[in-house]
């Protein structure tokens, strides 16, 4: 059955073959011929109907021609002709030979496109595999150098004579006009026909206007600018994939915008161009365009009838930016501006008034009073709350904290106390979490509540959780078990391997090799919904809702992991069946690495031997005797020793382990900073961490707050202080110390020290 597209599994096999420089492609040719409907054409209309398919096949052929491909056998002669065209593009066939081999009109026209593209690439230092703009866009010679085409014009004209098909004359004429640099005069007819669509309050909100077949590039650029939306002072394209946006907003440079303004010199196009220039480059708008947005906004306010959704439009976005940037002052004495403010101030709906206030639009005295009354009503909703879900909704209402009084705050506290006595499990943990968030917002946003009272309440509920409700919630959880068996011999071999080569522990726990990252990302992309759900972690200190993405502030290693993931997506994105945000990949890779560490550290039973081995090596310190009954000191005694060993490793790698500042003269750099320096040097050299997974093990599990962060969590008493957590922390810290010592020994052995 003809599908006219490749299944995901076939794409994966195809790209793996390309990357592996495979020479066996007969299976792919056969699949292409069975999958795509490629046949002869009788008009340009039928050519364009097949164009997506022929372009895909041609692009696939280019890739496989980069490998050691052997002779191929084709059943469909037209598909074979597209293979010849790909050979011509790659320089494996001359133009004359390609012309002789191509017989179908479908392939003859496509060969013409590729020939012109190759000439265009020569003059413009571009790398298009096909570019049809010279055939479809008048005046495109203004931004494409056609010098190489001029030299070949006579041969091009001769080739054009052999193509006789309905609809081709228009394509032919456009090409020759561009080669001969025949400028088409300014035409604003399409803009006049669509004036009401273009000059509208919501013009910049994915507005699509159908393009005529003989459109110039200038007209197309203007209409493309309407396809975007505007949000947070940025252009938002319709879509974006692998760094390329639709429409391609990177084409709208300041020079191009200026050239378009000079070309059209029209108030309709000025409205579009000045708006795009202001949002993108902060270029000042003319008074006329500002007032046009104001006029349009007045119409929206009048017709919106106090409906907030109707008020949100692209002109409102622009006007709010003008207020924020203080550019609106330029027209503040104009009658139309004054009329707009008056219309804004007629609004009595609190949500709209709040929106105006947020966007720095002047409010009337009556609006300010109405807004205060609304905020007062919001915090009084606590009187109607009768169940936990209602209290959670109250906590999420950010308007409830603006003007709340002390008496009503005490009512909120009482209501919280009432509900937590009758609940357990996830709902209870969510109540604690959301109440703490409510208190934090109150502390930062309320001028009426005593900060000491808020501090007392925050301390109170944290103690409640830690001493009582943490255990209630964990006891109420359901345990899901999944038993699996690991052969005893495998576990014994694993323990022996780790004890004899401590660096190998990182291979089991850290995901840093590209192949492992790809497999992890494939698994993540197969279950995208599982990574979108909000998760609450039951920490003994307090329930914590997982962040949507990792914190990259002062986390350069995770920022580089993000780069590595992005690079993998760009090269091997075909392997991932669903789209997943890069930040989600990074977060889930950390989670997977942590889960692997719990598993493999749990299977490591040679900690006694490793501990005693390190005791013999660390003669400067007196360590506690090993005991099956671990105490906190067994772990914490290792922290300063680990830090000292990290500083020694740094000096051996020519990294200064002390702070390089007169104000902090010779103070020790913290170990995480030193490890970051080591890792970043490797990343700058290799672009990955494949050779330093052991150092990454120490950094992530001991010091990275986006990972286990054992040293800081333990030293501050948040985790790893007793029971199985303490045992786990002891093993990981022991391995981390052994890794650093082993690294030092390797350097000493190699340098003869």
What pLDDT sits at residue 242? Answer: 46
Question: How many residues can be counted in the chain?
Answer: 753
Alpha helices (H) in 603-637, listed in sequence order: 607-617, 632-636
Query: If you average pLDDT over residues 466-483, what whole number do you get?
Result: 78
Return the exposure string of 276-297: e unless at least 16 CB atoms fall within 10 Å of the residue's CB, then b: bbbbbeeeebeeebbbbbbbbb
Distance CA 399, CA 395 (A): 10
Residue position matching structure tokens 């459109």:
215
Residue 277 DSSP symbol: H
Task: Answer whether residue 750 shows pLDDT above 80.
Answer: no
Cα dihedral sign for 689, 695, 698, 699? negative
Report DSSP letters for 521-561, one per residue: HHHHHH-GGGGTS--EEE-SS-EEEPPSS---TT-HHHHHH
Return the exposure string of 547-557: e unless at least 16 CB atoms fall within 10 Å of the residue's CB, then b: eebbeeeebeb
Phi and psi for 701 in degrees, rounded to 5? -85, -20
Return the CA Rg of the chain.
34
Reported as a single tens digit per residue, the pLDDT across 640-665 is: 999 999 999 888 877 777 766 667 67
Q: Contact at 8 Å (CB) between 175 and 141?
A: no
Token pair listed for 128? 């298009």
Over the chain, what is the mean pLDDT? 88
Per-residue confidence band for 389, with pLDDT thresholds at 50, 70 and 90: confident
Reported as a single tens digit per residue, the pLDDT across 46-65 is: 999 999 999 999 999 998 98
Distance CA 300, CA 64 (A): 56
Task: Answer whether residue 2 shows pLDDT above 90.
Answer: no
- How far, in Å, are 240, 455, 534 from residue 578 at the CA level? 15, 45, 20
Query: If you average pLDDT over residues 431-437, what whole number do you get?
Result: 91
Reported as a single tens digit per residue, the pLDDT across 313-332 is: 999 999 999 999 999 999 99
Q: Contact at 8 Å (CB) between 439 and 457?
A: yes
Per-residue confidence band for 151, with pLDDT thresholds at 50, 70 and 90: very high
Checking phi first, is residue 330 left (phi over 0); if not, alpha (psi -120 to 50) or beta? alpha
Q: Which residues contact 618 (CB under 8 A, 6 or more apart)?
A: 641, 741
| Maximum Cα interatomic distance, the chain, rounded to a whole number of Å | 94
What pLDDT sits at residue 474? Answer: 80
Using a 10 angstrom Cβ sphere, with 0-12 exposed, 13-18 middle and 19 or more buried, the burial of residue 480 is: exposed
Give the predicted TM-score (pTM) of the model: 0.67
- How far, in Å, are 496, 605, 639, 698 from residue 609 at the CA level? 11, 9, 19, 20
What pLDDT sits at residue 362? Answer: 93
Cis peptide preceding 247, ω within 30 of 0: yes
Distance CA 528, CA 581 (A): 10
């Amino acid at each position: 059955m003809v599908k006219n597209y490749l299944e995901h599994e076939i794409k994966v096999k195809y790209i793996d073959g390309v990357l592996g420089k495979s020479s066996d492609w007969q299976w792919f040719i056969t699949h292409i011929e069975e999958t795509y409907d490629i046949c002869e054409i009788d008009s340009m209309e039928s050519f364009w109907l097949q164009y997506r398919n022929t372009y895909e096949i041609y692009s696939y052929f280019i890739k496989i021609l980069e490998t050691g491909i052997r002779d191929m056998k084709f059943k469909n002669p037209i598909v074979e002709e597209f293979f010849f065209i790909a050979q011509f593009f790659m320089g494996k066939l001359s133009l004359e030979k390609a012309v002789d081999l191509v017989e179908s009109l479908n392939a003859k026209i496509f060969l013409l496109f590729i020939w012109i593209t190759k000439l265009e690439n020569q003059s413009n230092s571009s790398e298009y595999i096909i570019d049809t703009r010279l055939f479809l866009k008048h005046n495109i010679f203004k931004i494409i150098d056609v010098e190489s085409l001029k030299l070949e014009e006579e041969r091009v004209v001769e080739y054009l004579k052999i193509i006789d098909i309905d609809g081709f004359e228009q394509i032919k004429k456009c090409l020759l006009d561009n080669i001969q640099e025949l400028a088409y005069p300014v035409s604003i007819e399409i803009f006049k026909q669509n004036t009401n669509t273009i000059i509208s309050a919501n013009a910049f909100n994915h507005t699509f206007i159908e393009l005529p077949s003989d459109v110039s590039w200038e007209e197309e650029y203007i209409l493309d600018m309407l396809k975007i939306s505007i949000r947070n002072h940025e252009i938002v394209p319709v879509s974006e994939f692998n760094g390329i946006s639709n429409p391609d907003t990177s084409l709208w440079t300041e020079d191009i915008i200026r050239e378009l303004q000079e070309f059209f010199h029209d108030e309709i196009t000025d409205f579009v161009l000045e708006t795009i220039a202001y949002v993108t480059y902060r270029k000042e708008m003319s008074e006329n365009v500002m007032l046009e947005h104001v006029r349009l906004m007045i119409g929206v306010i009048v017709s919106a009838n106090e409906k907030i959704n109707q008020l949100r439009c692209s002109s409102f976005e622009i006007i709010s930016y003008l207020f924020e940037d203080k550019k609106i002052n330029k027209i503040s004495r104009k009658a139309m501006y004054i009329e707009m403010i008056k219309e804004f101030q007629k609004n009595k709906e609190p949500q709209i008034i709040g929106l105006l206030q947020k966007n720095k639009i002047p409010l009337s005295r009556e609006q300010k009073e109405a807004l205060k009354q609304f905020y007062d009503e919001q915090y009084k909703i606590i009187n109607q709350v009768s169940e936990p879900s209602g209290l959670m909704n109250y906590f999420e209402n950010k308007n409830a904290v603006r003007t709340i009084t002390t008496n009503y705050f005490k009512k909120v506290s009482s209501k919280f106390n009432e509900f937590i006595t009758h609940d357990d499990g996830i709902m209870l943990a969510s109540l604690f979490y959301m109440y703490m968030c409510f208190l934090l917002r109150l502390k930062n946003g309320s001028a009426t509540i005593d900060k000491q009272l808020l501090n007392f309440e925050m301390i109170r509920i944290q103690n409640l959780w830690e001493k009582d409700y943490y255990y209630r919630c964990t006891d109420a959880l359901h345990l899901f078990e999944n038993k699996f068996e690991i052969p005893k011999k495998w576990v014994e071999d694993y323990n022996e391997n780790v004890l004899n080569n401590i660096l190998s522990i990182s291979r089991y726990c850290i995901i840093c090799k590209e192949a492992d990252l790809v497999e992890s990302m494939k698994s993540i992309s197969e279950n995208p919904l599982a990574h979108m759900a909000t998760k609450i972690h039951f920490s003994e200190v307090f329930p914590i809702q997982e962040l949507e993405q990792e914190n990259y502030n002062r986390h350069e290693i995770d920022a580089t992991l993000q780069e590595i993931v992005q690079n993998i997506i760009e090269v091997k994105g075909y392997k991932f069946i669903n789209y997943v945000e890069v930040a989600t990949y990074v977060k889930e890779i950390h989670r997977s690495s942590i889960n692997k560490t719990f598993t493999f550290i749990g299977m490591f039973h040679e900690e006694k031997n490793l501990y005693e081995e390190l005791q013999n090596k660390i003669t400067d310190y007196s360590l506690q005797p090993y005991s099956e009954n671990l105490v906190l000191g067994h772990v914490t005694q290792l922290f300063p020793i680990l830090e000292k060993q990290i500083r020694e490793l740094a000096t051996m790698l020519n990294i200064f382990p002390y702070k390089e500042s007169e104000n902090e003269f010779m103070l020790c750099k913290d170990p995480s900073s030193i490890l970051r320096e080591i890792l970043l040097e490797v990343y700058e050299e290799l672009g990955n961490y494949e050779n330093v997974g052991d150092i990454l093990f120490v950094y992530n599990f001991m010091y990275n707050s986006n990972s286990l962060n054992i040293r800081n969590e333990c030293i501050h008493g948040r985790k790893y202080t007793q029971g199985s957590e303490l045992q786990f922390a002891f093993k990981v810290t022991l391995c981390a110390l052994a890794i650093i010592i082993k690294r030092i020994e390797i350097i000493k052995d190699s340098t003869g020290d």
